[in-house]
Amino acid sequence: MHQAHGMGYEEYTNKVSKLLEVEKRREEDYQKSLEIAADIDRNSK
């Protein structure tokens, strides 16, 4: 947790703003991965 998001689990669970920040970043990373997968799929056909 600390290495990936720059905070410990306790801080993540105790501060709503930090939790929202991490979850927003995770969602952005997930959307980027979907775009990359779609690009790869399109280019492989």
Q: For position 1, what pLDDT does the model report?
A: 75
As a dihedral over the C-alpha atoms of residue 31, residue 33, residue 34, residue 35, rounded to 10 degrees, the angle is 90
Residues 6+ positions from 4 with CB-CB distance below 8 Å = none
Q: For position 11, what pLDDT does the model report?
A: 85
Q: For position 3, what pLDDT does the model report?
A: 82
Q: For position 30, what pLDDT does the model report?
A: 98
CB crowding 10-20: b at 16 or more within 10 Å, else e: eebeeeeebee
The ranges assigned to domains in the chain are 2-43
Q: For position 8, what pLDDT does the model report?
A: 87
Mean pLDDT of residues grouped by 10 in the chain (45 residues)? 81 88 95 97 87
**Token digits of residue 44:** 């492989």
